[in-house]
Amino acid sequence: MLTLKNSKERSTSRSLRGTNRQVTDPKNSLTDKVVFINRCAKVVKGGRRFSFSALIVSGDRQGRVGVGFGKANEVSEAIRKATAAAHKRLLNIAITEKTLPHEVIGEFGGGRVLLRPASPGTGVIAGGGVRAMMEVVGIRDVLAKSLGSSNPTNVVKATLNALTTLRKREQVSQIRGKFQPELSSDIMTAP
């Protein structure tokens, strides 16, 4: 059965949702954040049997991020499984100077997430799973809006979809086969 030390967490089942535990793994410097923990009840002859699922985002704060989902009969085991899954699926994200190179929309299922680059000092203007993902990937200045479903799994996967479609200026010019001279990040004005 689930045993929690904090009496406030023990009071309701909804208190398990949105817990923001942050664990740093010293051997490979990955940061893990719990986005969502769900409790499911199966009714059997002797009463209810509970199982738990956990959604974790993991990253190194330098452009790598992974998402993991785990299920088990105990919360700690579900978190462990989800963390292992997130560490297996790390992806490299194109970020520039702690923000995004361009605006992007990501979709997954019913979830749609809009991400916009922001000027230095703005901070992470996002909520829920989007904020957790931005923090573990290392993005410090971003504006985000969740436009579709509020399901945490779909929102996190839509955010991951948006981040994986990002391209730096050099990547785009290489794909198009055009040479771009060194340009500053500011918008060039014609004389």
Q: Per residue, what are the HEC states of 46-93?
A: CEEEEEEEEEEEEECCCCEEEEEEEEECCHHHHHHHHHHHHHHCCEEC
Domain 93-175 in the same topology as domain 7-91: no
CATH topology for the 93-175 domain: Ribosomal Protein S5; domain 2 (3.30.230)
Check residue 162 and give its pLDDT.
93
In three-state secondary structure terms, 24 is strand
Check residue 134 and give its pLDDT.
92
Residue with tokens 């986005």: 35
- Backbone phi and psi for residue 86, each to the nearest 5 degrees, phi listed first: -65, -40
Give pLDDT tens digits for 47-98. 999 999 999 999 999 889 999 999 999 999 999 999 999 999 999 988 888 8
| The pair of three-digit structure tokens given for residue 40, joined into one six-digit string | 């499911």
Check residue 145 and give its pLDDT.
94
Asked which of 23-32, 70-79, 110-119, 166-175 is least confident by mean pLDDT, the reply is: 23-32
CATH topology for the 7-91 domain: Double Stranded RNA Binding Domain (3.30.160)
Give pLDDT tens digits for 158-172. 999 999 998 887 777
Asked which of 17-26, 103-112, 118-127 is least confident by mean pLDDT, the reply is: 17-26
User: Is 141 within 8 Å of 122 (Cβ atoms)?
Assistant: yes
Domain residue ranges in the chain: 7-91, 93-175
Is the pLDDT score of 191 beyond 50?
Answer: no
Is the pLDDT score of 173 beyond 80?
Answer: no
Residue with tokens 């009714």: 43
The Cα 171–Cα 178 span in angstroms is 10
Kindly list the distances between the CA atom of residue 62 and the CA atoms of 68, 88, 91, 143, in Å, as whole numbers in the listed order. Answer: 19, 17, 11, 19
